[in-house]
A and B are shown apart, each in its own frame.
Chain A
Amino acid sequence: MDLGAINDEQVEVLLSDLLEHHGYDFTGYSKASLKRRITRLYALDKAVSFAEFRYRIINDDLYFKRFVEQITVNVTEMFRDPAFFKTLRSSVLPALGTYPFIRIWLAGCSTGEEAYSISIILKELNLLHKSLIYATDLNPVVLEKAAQGMFAMTQMKQYSENYIAAGGTGDFSTYYTANYSLAKFNEELKSKMIFSTHNLVSDHSFNEFQLILCRNVLIYFDRDLQHQVLDLFNESLEELGYLALGTKETIDFSNISKFYKRLPGDKIWRKSK
């Protein structure tokens, strides 16, 4: 990929177009990654010129949707970082299991692989019936995919290995039915999921949760936006609730860190009383 096709000024032009014409604010995103994604799409769609590319993003709603889907990173997998899911299973969810009702917010859920992973663990812990997973993303296209609960069969071997490494107690293959090249996950797993668009940049807190997961989303934000989003999570988390981030993300250096205690060994923090 030739990174020279779009320059920094043109990235800024597109970002202000998105804000002005579509109300999407990407100005707090990490620029290097965003520029790479935009350049990639520019090449992929064989844009004739920057002016034409820009015109389509402003005026063609379908293309705008594609643009947002393509410049945000939607790569995810089931039980990614098995050690993390093992801690969820062995310590976080059992602690929440003492509550009459468990509300979980999966922020930036993308195509839903993590939502199904959590649902499987809840089911095995016999907690699914009293749980609700709010799975949100800014991007309606990926949410539609998440709601379908169908993932590539070719991934199942890897996911099954992850599942076992994460302490899974059942037979992973019983959670889906093979349908040609797709694995369709059981309806029961989806019965406690609510999919909704939510933009971490511009939308407010919409409920109180006992567990918020937002893994590998903050890495795409600059420091200021990270702090703003962590404030939003803090507002949305009950006392003694848990906040889970990605392997390379942290709440250190943020305003909220003083209210939280980290679980040793994992990127999970518990809110103090």
Chain B
Amino acid sequence: MVGCEALVIGGSAGSLEVLLKVLPILDNSLTFPIIIVIHRKHGSDSLLPDLLSSRTKLKVKEVDEKEPINGGTIYVAPSDYHLLIEQDRTFSLDYSEKVNYSRPAIDVTFQTAAEVYKTKLACLLLSGSNADGVLGLKSVKTWGGLALIQDPDSAQVSYMPAQAKLHVNIDEILSIESIGEFINSLK
């Protein structure tokens, strides 16, 4: 992909380990934002940005509502809110019903990002135990973006990427080792 304007990564059980391996490989000069939505227990959130920050030179921060989305920054969805992308490329938060038993739901962020970034969007779905993210990846394809999954064989919990593989026309299936280099190549 040439001219990637945003990468959204979704994951659930078993995805944090993948992120911790991938982050150190990322170029410090990435020009697009990376938006991370992972399922976690409400109230346990404050440590995640710090944990991720320890593995990369890129700026890592938890999303503030109405915050403009800047390139070269890793944004982490706060726990217990859905994370949406607005057409003016700012974030908004939403405390509506859980989707796929999850809040934040990966589908919500993938879908709203798809409509904003269209062909300039890449979305990556990692390890996890439910089907959240599958409909989102479908939207990404509808709007012309890139749909990526972690290789289900390499996932601690394969269900989520496997469901995506089953239902969506996936562009790339990536091993844990190849994710970092692939992201670096997106610019």
Contacts and interface: CB of A to CB of B under 8 A. Distances in A.
Interface of A: 1-4, 8, 30-33, 36-37, 73, 75, 216, 219-220, 222-223, 226, 246-250
B58 to A, nearest CB: 22
Chain B interface, >50% SS class: mixed
Nearest to A7: B115
Contact of A8 (B66, B87, B93, B97): B87
B86 A219 contact: no
A4 B135 CA distance: 12
Contacts of A247: 78
B91 to A, nearest CB: 9
Interface string B66-89: 100000000000100100111100
A-B pairs, 7 with minimum CB distance = A32-B84, A30-B92, A33-B94, A73-B96, A219-B93, A3-B111, A216-B95
Interface string B34-73: 0000000000000000000000000000001110000000
B64 A36 contact: no
A33 B135 contact: no
Contacts of B111: 1, 3, 36
Interface in B80-118: 81, 84-87, 92-97, 107-108, 111-112, 114-115
A248 B142 contact: no
B61 to A, nearest CB: 13
Given A73-B96, A75-B95, A248-B64, 20 more contacts: A3-B112, A3-B139, A4-B139, A8-B87, A31-B86, A32-B84, A32-B87, A32-B92, A32-B94, A33-B84, A36-B96, A36-B108, A75-B96, A216-B95, A219-B81, A219-B92, A219-B94, A220-B92, A220-B94, A226-B66
13 contacts: A2-B139, A3-B139, A31-B87, A32-B92, A32-B94, A37-B96, A73-B95, A219-B93, A219-B94, A219-B95, A246-B95, A248-B81, A249-B65
